[in-house]
Amino acid sequence: MGLDSGKLLWQPLVARNVPRRWKKIVLRNSFRNAIQFMKKANDIPVEATVRLYMSIGSLLIGLLLTVGISGCAFRQDASAGTAEKLHFNESNKYILYIGTNDKDELRPLMTRAEVKKKVSAIFLKYTDGFTLLEGKGVWPDPSGQSIQEDSLICVFMNINEDQVRLIADEILKELNQHSILVEKASTGILFYDASKQIPK
């Protein structure tokens, strides 16, 4: 049986004339050793040997080309998706931790909804924006007893210390609080909108 040069390079690995056990040997060992071993055994035709050898070689070349093309495409996509660096504005952030227990009664005298409505009205007198979160606070009273109470966590950006003091002064009075915990931090902020999205 002669070799068909038109089909030789793309002959599939499952060639009819190649015993199954010889395919496993070729995959497990190097091409050269496998071919020499098969020739010595004299139970596989020379044409099938060459066909199998060339089929595996073409398969490896195809895999290498596929990996190379995929790598180039990945690098191209990654470079296309770059965007300008985000620029943050420096700002002071203030966080107020406000308890809801009356300092004399050691219990809340208003519902949580009423407290949130009252403090929100105070905030809007001195600032145009804030974030209001709910939490659970624990603190020791003068006798050393641990007191638990519902708390409000209020976050402010772009306000100054005078505004914070005016807010705290009113809350101390309206909620009859002994004190308010105030936290200050320097941070960077920006408003992220569609103009800052990474181009596709």
Q: Which residue has the higher pLDDT, 70 or 136?
A: 136
Give the gyration radius of the chain's Cα atoms.
38
Q: Which of 27, 57, 80 corresponds to the end of one domain? A: 80
Distance, CA of 29 to CA of 178 (rounded, Å): 82
Distance of CA 50 to the CA centre of its chain: 51
Q: For residue 199, is it within any domain?
A: no
Distance, CA of 100 to CA of 170 (rounded, Å): 14
Q: Which contiguous run of DSSP H or E holds residue 152?
A: strand 146-157
Number of domains the chain contains: 2
Would you state the pLDDT for residue 84? 81
**Statement to judge: residues 133 and 51 lie in one domain:** no
**Statement to judge: residues 17 and 107 lie in one domain:** no
Q: Which of 45, 80, 115 corresponds to the end of one domain? A: 80
Q: Which residue has the higher pLDDT, 32 or 160?
A: 160
Question: Quick one: angle between helices 31-41 and 46-80, nearest 10?
Answer: 160
Q: Which residue has the higher pLDDT, 76 or 101?
A: 101
Q: For residue 200, is it within any domain?
A: no
Kindly indicate the confidence band of residue 74, based on its pLDDT and cuts at 50, 70 and 90: very low
**Statement to judge: residues 68 and 99 lie in one domain:** no
**Which CATH number covers residue 114?**
3.30.70.120
**Statement to judge: residues 104 and 61 lie in one domain:** no
Q: Which residue has the higher pLDDT, 56 or 113?
A: 113
Distance, CA of 119 to CA of 174 (rounded, Å): 9
What's the mean per-residue pLDDT of the chain?
76
**Statement to judge: residues 95 and 181 lie in one domain:** yes
Distance, CA of 53 to CA of 13 (rounded, Å): 9
Indicate the burial class of 84 (C-beta count within 10 angstroms; 0-12, 13-18, 19 or more): exposed
Distance, CA of 174 to CA of 196 (rounded, Å): 43
Which residue range forms the structural domain that includes residue 137?
Answer: 89-187
Q: Which residue has the higher pLDDT, 19 or 135?
A: 135
Single pTM value for the model: 0.57
- pLDDT at residue 78 tops 90: no
pLDDT tens readout for residues 81-100: 566 889 999 999 999 999 99
Kindly indicate the confidence band of residue 143, based on its pLDDT and cuts at 50, 70 and 90: confident
Tokens of 86: 């985000």
Phi, psi (5° rounding) for residue 116?
-65, -40
pLDDT tens readout for residues 42-71: 555 556 555 655 666 665 566 555 555 555
- 154 within 8 A of 120, measured Cβ to Cβ: no
**Statement to judge: residues 50 and 139 lie in one domain:** no
- pLDDT at residue 2 tops 50: no
Strand partners, 90: 188
Distance between start and end Cα atoms, the chain: 57
- Contacts with 80 (C-beta within 8 Å, 6 or more apart), sequence order: 199, 200
**Statement to judge: residues 135 and 57 lie in one domain:** no
Would you state the pLDDT for residue 17? 55
- Ramachandran category for residue 144: left, alpha or beta (phi over 0 → left; psi -120 to 50 → alpha): left
